[in-house]
Structures are given as structure tokens and as C-alpha cells.
Amino acid sequence: MTSRRLVRPTALLCIISSSLLVAGAGRADDAKWDPTSTKVPETIEELKAQQALVKKVVAKCSPATVGVIIGAGAGSGVIVSADGLVMTAAHVSGEPGKKCLLVLPDGTRIKGETLGTNDRKDSGMIKIVEDDPTKLPQGGKWPHVSLGKSSDLKKGQWVVSLGHPGGFKTGRTPVARLGQVQGTARDLLRTNCTLVGGDSGGPLFDLNGNVVGIHSRISLSLDANIHVPTDSFKAEWDQLVSGEQIGRPTPTYLGVTFDKEATTARLEEVYDDSPAAKAGLKAGDVLTKFEDAKVATPEDVRALLKKRKPGEKVRLTVRRGDETLTLEVTLGKRT
């Protein structure tokens, strides 16, 4: 069902600008529009100057704007480093360590793997892990864009949204939409750029062509949308790249069950291919020390595990019959 709606001046400007973009109006070398301006173009000359700058941004940034396919879901993302780091939304990338596909604007599908997230802010990262030499870029560098300083944005400043609304479509380049900043806060940025499903995770650019936000929450009105500011990504960059789920406890995984009838930390089962099995632990072993801390019950072991992170190595002392053994375990991550 469709309904008639009044077209506001800003929306009309975006429609006119889009028409000029298609028609090729405004030469890039004639552009004199201030990239940080908050004013609305008042003349055809100003509109052409602004549009010329927008065309530059779209041409510069489209090659790095990718589609993201994870399972049956589709979203967007943007490559921000030559070695293939991709910024997206946490609700697009999901859990760390998942395989995914990234679709370049020419339709080439390359392999990726999800990294860290901050679910509260909705920030997520993906890493390109493509190993097919026919798909690797010349010179070994992926097309990428620079990060801007989102805290410098002003209310009313013009920005460009790129993404793949409805998911990547063959033959269609990333879709560009012009809008203005409506408000800023520490961990969110609001604009009136029109967004729909599939745009989530895509980039928001200032008119210098720098990423200033990632599309996060799309409103019912389509033009009052929330983005994750790039400054939020920068503040947690190392954690996101390392695969951490910021703000969410990541239970470490030992891979054992304890004998509920025993009065000690006696192992009832050691799971195949678990960290415990790889370290040589066996059913019937009794844990007596975790590093230098004595343990007497399964609760003691669990409490100490909670203080550790996946990937850490710990020494476990066990009693096996008449023997006392010290084994080194590399802790895993529960999935």
C-alpha cells in the first residue's frame, strides 16, 4: 500500500541532487563547496558545486563499500585498511570467528571472518581472509578509505551514505544518498540519510570522503537513522581487531565435566578435542591446583576459570592414581 506524502525542502534537494548526479551536472574541477558547510544550496551554481563534491566522494569511496553475507542474512560494510579490515555493525557481523562472504562492487565474492563486537554500541569488525590468488588485489592492497573524526561533525553538516539496500544486487553499484547530520552524542550519530534493510553496517562519509559513521538503527520513517560514530570504533580498535566481545563475558572452555558424587574436583569426562584432552587430562583425574592456587571442589575451578581469557595457558596439577602430574592447558572459548 502506498500513500501520498508532502516532500520537505531537504528531501526535494536530495531528489534534485540525485538527478544532477545521474545527468553528470557540475564538473569536479569547478567544485567550490565547503565540505563542512551546514547551509542549504540557494542557487543552481551552489547546487552544482555541492553535487560535484558529492560525486567525488561517491567515486572515491564506492570501491571500498562491500556487501556482507552471513548465512541467510545480508548487510553492508566498508574496508578501512589495505590488509582488509572491514567496519560494520555488530548485528550484521554477529559472533566472532564466523566465516562470511564479502561482495566487492564488481560482484567478486571474497572470504571473510568476523572479529570483535560491541553489542551495546553496535560496532563490529570483519577481516578479509581470501586466499584465492585470482581474487587478490594487485599489489596486495585492498581498496580502502580513511577514518574521519566524528566528533568534529556539526549539526546540519552534509554527509553521504553508501550501502547495499536490500542486499547486494548484481550490476548495481553501492547506492549513494545525501543527507545532513541531525544530532551527535558520544556513542551515536543521527542523520536524515534515507536507509533501508541491507544498508546496516554500511558507511557514512563526510564530504572529504572520510568514514564518520556506520549505519546501525533504521527508523520506521527511513530518514531519521542512527549510526555508530567512528570515534567509538577508534576507542576500542585493538579489542575489536583481537576478536573481543566488548561488554560481554566470554566464558573460557576447558572441556570437562566433574563427578557430582565426588567430594573433590574429580573429572568424570574429558571431551574429545577439547583443551583438556589436548593437554593430556583424563577421566578420573583429580584437580588439586590451578596455577599456584589450591582447588578442592569444581566450584573452585570454575571461579578461577572465570578470571581467565581464551588463549591463556595455565598449569593444572592433577592426581592420577598414585601419581601427581602438572599439565599445561591452553584455554579455549565456549561457543
Cβ contact 289:329 at 8 Å = no
pLDDT for 108: 96
Q: How far apart are CA 204 and CA 162, in angstroms?
A: 6
Grid coordinates given for 303: 571461579
Query: Is it the case that residue 25 has pLDDT exceeding 70?
Result: no
Q: How confident is the model at residue 298 (pLDDT cuts 50, 70, 90)?
A: very high
pLDDT for 309: 84
Grid coordinates given for 120: 551495546
pLDDT for 227: 97
Of 243, 258, 272, residue with least CA distance to 305: 258
Cβ contact 125:93 at 8 Å = yes
Q: How far apart are CA 317 and CA 301, in angstroms?
A: 12
Query: Is it the case that residue 175 has pLDDT exceeding 80?
Result: yes
Q: How far apart are CA 238 and CA 185, in angstroms?
A: 22
**Which H or E run contains 119?**
none
Q: What is the pLDDT of residues 224-237, one digit of tens each?
A: 899 999 999 999 99
Of 92, 23, 94, 81, residue with least CA distance to 52: 23
- 65-247, what's its fold? Thrombin, subunit H (2.40.10)
Cβ contact 265:296 at 8 Å = yes
Q: How far apart are CA 285 and CA 135, in angstroms?
A: 50
pLDDT for 14: 46
pTM for this prediction: 0.72
Grid coordinates given for 184: 551527535
Lowest mean pLDDT among 7-16, 69-78, 166-175: 7-16
CATH architecture, range 252-333: Roll (2.30)
Q: What is the pLDDT of residues 128-137, one digit of tens each?
A: 999 999 999 9
Query: Is it the case that residue 220 has pLDDT exceeding 90?
Result: no
Average pLDDT score over residue span 121-133:
96
Question: Please, what's the b/e burial string for 90-126 (b: 16 or more CB within 10 A of its CB; e: otherwise)?
Answer: bbbbbebeeebbbbbbeeeebebbbbbbbeebbbbbb
Q: How far apart are CA 194 and CA 210, in angstroms?
A: 19
Of 74, 13, 65, 77, residue with least CA distance to 39: 13
Q: How far apart are CA 57 and CA 322, in angstroms?
A: 72
| Strand pairing category for 65-70 and 313-320 | unpaired
Q: How far apart are CA 164 and CA 74, in angstroms?
A: 9
Q: How confident is the model at residue 67 (pLDDT cuts 50, 70, 90)?
A: very high
Q: What is the pLDDT of residues 179-189, one digit of tens each?
A: 999 999 888 99
Average pLDDT score over residue span 172-183:
96
Cβ contact 37:154 at 8 Å = no
Domain boundaries, the chain: 65-247, 252-333
Q: How far is residue 184 from each of residues 203, 208, 330, measured CA to CA in Å?
A: 16, 19, 43
